[in-house]
A and B are shown apart, each in its own frame.
Chain A
Amino acid sequence: MSNKERILIKNITIKNCGNFYGEHNIELSDSLDKNFTIIIGTSGMGKSTIFKLIYWCLFGSHYDPKTEVDSTDEGIINSTLLKNLGNGEKTSASVTLDIHDQDGEKYVLSRTLTATSHRETNSKKFDELNNSRINSGIQIISESKMRMTGEEGQQVNEKDTRLIKNAISKLFPENLSDFFLFDGEKLVQFRTKSEAAELIKDGIEKISGLPIVDNLIKNSKNTRDAIISHIADKDSDSSVLAKLLQDTKEEMEKINNTLNDKDVELTKKQLEYDGVVKKIQSNKTGKDIHSQIIVLDKTKKNLTTKITKTESKMKDFLFDNLPELLIRDTLEKSEEIFAKLEDEDKIPPSISRGAIDKILASDPLRCICGRDFQKDDGSWKKLDEIKQIIIDDDISQGITQGRGLISQILDRSMPKKINEIYLELVEDGRSSREEKEKILSDLDDLNEEIKSIEFEDDEDYGQQKKTLWGDISLLTAVIAGWKEDLEDLEIERKAREFKLNTRIEHEKVDITERNKISIIKAVQKFASEKRSEIVDELRNKTEEATNRYFLESAPEKEIFDHVKISSKYDITACDADDYVKELSKGQSHVLGLSYVSGCRQITNTNTFLFIDSPLHNISGDSRNEISQVLSKNLPGVQVVLFVTDSEYLQGDERGAKPVRTYLNPTNKVWKEYQIVKTTANDGVKGKTVEEFKRDV
């Protein structure tokens, strides 16, 4: 751990944001040993506000805007300042983060919002134009600034938002923010394996630095394409092939762009849909109807699965039985012919050349059926003919086995029995479809009922839900269509690429260029093969560490034997017989924390870890064990815990001691802060952060 690059936030300065009126500074630990800083606050005092302001400063976007409608630029600026803003006056709010690495200051990142009042009226007009917003007559402009060291060691103040974003995303990719700004509420996802899978996948495939390998593979391919295209320019045939290939690629890119747009549109519609459903649920009747819809939807899904299974069963059944049914007449005729041949002694029950010879050489002449015959009668002639036909013992065995096989097929392809099974399957499918039709009709009725509910804001959420659902279904179908087109184009691309490569390989081109293609192909193949080995090792290491931490601190840990992370990134805690155990809220919370700590084993950087409400949902004793495990398992990582005073400073009714009494003796805590109410010199009331110095 100690040889990893450390990334930490040394200082946070908040000015006029939320309830933090004026300027407030929080210095955080940069110590390797005492790496914990604690921020204590009662519920609603502003712990999460600080957490979200750090997020906003890093990325310029709002933390979880899906669920928090107030997460806007306006919402960040202190409301007293906004309220008292006279016409033409300005005020500003800002957050500054001093970002350090192991050598000291790396970046100083500031984000500022400046609000200007343009009108005295408090109209509800809302306008959005690039980076400025006008709401209630107030225009808000966002600016960002980053101080860094330039290539020649000079201090540079960068204001280009794009460049700042690039530099920050190298250190903290926004899509991986859960790994350094972790919301304790999300730990409940670890209760079900599939909900956490995305987070686990991100940890293993992204935070580990694997995108570097992915980019290497992608750029190797691009380089190869560029060399091929360069060679093709010198030959007319190759040039035509290269042009065709390029056309296909461009068409694919267009479709991919459309698909991305449609995906964004779909996500937007789904969010709108979720919002409407939430509104419906806020009404009592709406809530009742919606819970009925959920039950019916579940049954509908089960029936759809059943119908699909029955259809697939029927297909398999017909595939197995139809050919035999179709040749049944032929087989029956063949069986008759065999029987006739046997009756006429043309095929004895066991025929062989030796057997015929034996019959022919018998004295007096006698068939195996016991009948006597003479050399000049019909039987003699028939036996002689049969002997001509039988070439060797294998053929005679073949005929016998063939006959046996025909009998077997005829036995098992009884039309009546097949018909019975077929009709059963048809009936199964029919009744499931009927049941589904009935559910669909019930769902329609329930959705109509929602339309008749009178909501407080007079909105027709029932109709909105219906329209949005229609839009979502249509978009899903459109996306599926584009994906099919893309698959066809991929086949075309491969064929065209193959033709072009073959042409180039047989051409008299510069040997150096051709050798470069051979090398880059090998690099691409080697890197692709190694990628899957790397993923396996990353997953194993994460699993090992998560397992260790979980077994040390989980509530009722004795019932667990190991933690597993599957190749699909499902995480489960199992008993000694490898049975997956269902987790309580507290256990899933610990599993999540164990994973968040465990996946740090595979990173190359010791990036800070700020956790909002890490001990939420966990009872006293487990809470204490977890806090000790965190302090033990995250050496050298800057950890900031945002905790409530009740969990940190008080025990619980069952006799568990406060977390502080366990964490402080570990000597890991550098400083504790408490968010308190304050009144500024000008009389404005707000909150501030001050050092908490009470003895343990």
Chain B
Amino acid sequence: MVGINKIILEHFSDPNNPKELEEILKSFLEIESSDSMKKTGVDKLYDIILKKYANNEKFVEWCKDYVK
């Protein structure tokens, strides 16, 4: 029951989307599948990852368009 299912990873990898989105999703999936026994503050870990991409204007614009 551990690890990330290949089928899930394949669906999350779409060449038509920005590579940044795939990178974020992979990082999030790794956090979720972590074997650590004391998993706390997932939102903090997510926040740290988001911060890395928050100044990438092109990607942020794509995100805004995508959720419209």
Question: Residues of A at under 8 Å CB distance from B?
Answer: 5, 163, 166-167, 170-173, 176, 207-210, 212-213, 215-216, 219-220, 222-223, 226-227, 512-513, 515-516, 518-523, 525-527, 530, 533-534, 537-538, 541, 602-605, 607
A523 with B12: CB separation less than 8 A:
no
Determine how close the nearest CB of chain B comes to the CB of A139; give it in whole angstroms: 31
Q: Give CA–CA (A171, B2) in the complex, Å.
A: 6
A512 with B54: CB separation less than 8 A:
yes
Q: Which residues of B contact A519 (CB under 8 A)?
A: 24, 50, 53-54, 59-60, 63
Q: Give CA–CA (A171, B31) in the complex, Å.
A: 16
Given A212-B33, A219-B32, A534-B11: A515 touches B5 (CB 8 Å cut-off):
no
Interface residues of B, dominant DSSP: helix
B63 with A212: CB separation less than 8 A:
no
Q: Give CA–CA (A216, B31) in the complex, Å.
A: 9
Q: Per-residue 0/1 for B47-67: is the Cβ within 8 Å of any A Cβ (1 yes, 0 no)? A: 100110111000110111011
Determine how close the nearest CB of chain A comes to the CB of B48; give it in whole angstroms: 10
B32 with A212: CB separation less than 8 A:
yes
Q: Give CA–CA (A209, B9) in the complex, Å.
A: 11
B64 with A170: CB separation less than 8 A:
no
A515 with B55: CB separation less than 8 A:
yes
Q: Give CA–CA (A512, B66) in the complex, Å.
A: 18
Please tell me the number of chain B residues within 8 Å of chain A, measured between CB atoms.
37
Q: Give CA–CA (A211, B32) in the complex, Å.
A: 9
A170 with B2: CB separation less than 8 A:
yes
Given A212-B33, A223-B46, A516-B50: A604 touches B66 (CB 8 Å cut-off):
no
Report which of A176, A209, A518, A520 forms a contact with B3, defined as CB distance below 8 A: A209
A220 with B37: CB separation less than 8 A:
no
User: What are 8 A-B contacts defined by CB distance under 8 Å?
Assistant: A207-B1, A208-B8, A219-B43, A226-B47, A518-B63, A519-B24, A523-B21, A527-B25
Question: Residues of B at under 8 Å CB distance from A?
Answer: 1-8, 11-12, 17, 21, 24-25, 28-29, 31-33, 35, 37, 42-43, 46-47, 50-51, 53-55, 59-60, 62-64, 66-67
B8 with A605: CB separation less than 8 A:
no
Q: Give CA–CA (A222, B50) in the complex, Å.
A: 13
Given known contacts A170-B1, A519-B24, A526-B66, what 6 new A-B pairs fall within 8 Å (CB)? A5-B3, A216-B32, A226-B43, A516-B47, A518-B63, A522-B63
**In the complex, residue of chain B having the shortest beta-carbon distance to the beta carbon of A227:** B47
Q: Which residues of A contact B12 (CB under 8 A)?
A: 527, 530
Report which of A172, A513, A523, A534 forms a contact with B24, defined as CB distance below 8 A: A523
Q: Give CA–CA (A242, B51) in the complex, Å.
A: 22
B67 with A522: CB separation less than 8 A:
yes
B51 with A522: CB separation less than 8 A:
no
Determine how close the nearest CB of chain A comes to the CB of B43; give it in whole angstroms: 4
Given A512-B55, A521-B67: A605 touches B60 (CB 8 Å cut-off):
no
Q: Give CA–CA (A603, B11) in the complex, Å.
A: 15
Q: Which residues of A contact B55 (CB under 8 A)?
A: 512, 515
Given A223-B43, A519-B59, A527-B25: A210 touches B8 (CB 8 Å cut-off):
yes
Q: Which residues of A contact B4 (CB under 8 A)?
A: 209, 212, 604
> What 3 pairs between A and B have smallest CB-CB spacing?
A522-B63, A209-B5, A515-B54
A523 with B47: CB separation less than 8 A:
no
A518 with B21: CB separation less than 8 A:
no
Q: Which residues of B contact A523 (CB under 8 A)?
A: 21, 24-25, 28
A533 with B11: CB separation less than 8 A:
yes
Report which of A163, A207, A515, A527 forms a contact with B60, defined as CB distance below 8 A: A515
Q: Give CA–CA (A210, B1) in the complex, Å.
A: 10
